[in-house]
A = this chain, B = another copy of it.
Amino acid sequence: MAGPSVHPIEAPPMMATENANANAMPRHSLKDTQGMPGTLGGFILRSLQFSFALISLSVMASTSDFPSVTAFRYLVAAVSLQCLWSLSLAIADVYAILVKRGFRNSRVSSLFSIGDGITSTLTFSAACASAGITVLIGNDLNDCSQNHCSRFETATAMAFMSWFAASPSFILNFWTLASK
């Protein structure tokens, strides 16, 4: 071994071991709250967002007359964006879990936070607009016989669920960003 031959005291080997441990150890520490990017909780949140958005998109796209209402077209666009965003971040989370590293970079954190803020606001606004139309058709006009009320309601509810799953990600990311 080509170790230091002069003064082979205890301290340097111990420090070296510690450094080695620090390098080998995954970056997951106590500060990594579940739900943040790069954790299993974060991956579950992303999967939920993606699934709900995908169900909402499929149900809405399966109705023949959604393009006649602007709010429903907007919902389709918003949940498509939410699908893409959640899917890509779910893949990033899987990668982070596999290489056992968290996202601690401040720039990445702020990018995730801004993206989450934009997509979740879009999804929420689209869900609200669709809910307004659905309630108008179902309760105010009582016109469900001619329209796919149940499908519109399902799509709206799924968009809301997607937003509920997206909010913790946004709040955790924003909190992490602010507390740095």
Contact = CB atoms under 8 A, between A and B. Distances in A.
Contacts of A125: 124-125, 128
A150 to B, nearest CB: 18
A70 B128 contact: no
Contacts of A178: 174-175, 178-179
Within the oligomer, what is the number of copies of this chain? 2
Contacts of A140: 68-70
Contacts of A139: 70
A135 interface: yes
A48 B16 CA distance: 58
A89 interface: no
- Majority secondary structure, A binding face: helix
A139 to B, nearest CB: 6
A125 B126 CA distance: 9
Interface of A: 68-71, 124-126, 128-133, 135-136, 139-140, 174-175, 178-179
Given A70-B136, A129-B129, 11 more contacts: A68-B140, A69-B136, A70-B135, A71-B132, A71-B135, A128-B129, A132-B132, A133-B136, A174-B174, A175-B178, A178-B178
